[in-house]
């Protein structure tokens, strides 16, 4: 029968563990010397940016519109590829109309988001990255 009492682990007193402890002690001493030589500079905490509610609302609408567009695209492909029989054409037309409405909503939301300060900042950052690295984000 196995015992449920676990024995204590043997202390690590080997030469390798002693070398690691010595190296860590030397590292701590070096760090303490460096800290004593140069006092830490005072860093003022960054003031929190006020929330840009217009950008947040436009971004949320863009996310919802994109999700609805993907769902409508998937629904159209499902009807187009798998639905057959009577009424198939009507279901396909209805799915196409829903898809066009979702794409229109997405285009409108994308235009509204592009006019926000957040989108303009992202565009500037993207352009700077592209200029530096020669790649598109």
pTM value? 0.59
| Non-local CB neighbours of 117 within 8 Å, separated by 6+ positions | 52, 54, 55
The mean predicted confidence, pLDDT, of the chain is 83
HEC sequence for the chain = CCCCCCCCCCCCCCHHHHHHHHHHHHHHHHHHHHHHHCCCCCCCCCCCCCCCHHHHHHHHHHHHHHHHHHHHHHHHHHHHHHCCCCCHHHHHHHHHHHHHHHHHHHHHHHHHHHCCHHHHHHHHHHHHHHHHHCCCC
Report, as an integer, the average pLDDT of 112-135: 91
**Percent of the chain residues past pLDDT 90, beyond the cut:** 49
CB atoms within 10 A of CB 129: 13
Query: Would you place residue 8 in the very low, low, confident or very high pLDDT band (cuts 50, 70, 90)?
Result: low
Angle at 113 (CA atoms; ends 107, 115), nearest 5 degrees: 110
- Asked if pLDDT for residue 2 goes beyond 90, the answer is no
Position 37 scores a pLDDT of: 75
Per residue in 32-59, pLDDT (tens digit) is 777 777 766 665 666 665 678 889 999 9
């Amino acid at each position: 029968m196995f015992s449920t009492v676990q024995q204590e682990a043997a202390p690590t007193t080997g030469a390798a563990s002693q070398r690691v402890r010595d190296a860590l002690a030397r590292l701590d001493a070096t760090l303490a010397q460096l800290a004593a030589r140069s006092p830490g500079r005072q860093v003022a905490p960054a003031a929190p940016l006020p929330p840009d509610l217009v950008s947040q609302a436009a971004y949320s609408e863009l996310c919802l519109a994109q999700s609805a567009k993907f769902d409508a695209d998937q629904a159209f492909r499902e009807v187009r590829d798998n639905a057959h029989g009577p009424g198939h054409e009507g279901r396909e037309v209805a799915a196409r109309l829903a898809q066009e409405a979702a794409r229109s909503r997405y285009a409108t939301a994308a235009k509204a988001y592009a006019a926000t300060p957040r989108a303009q900042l992202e565009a500037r950052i993207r352009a700077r990255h592209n200029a530096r690295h020669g790649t598109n984000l």
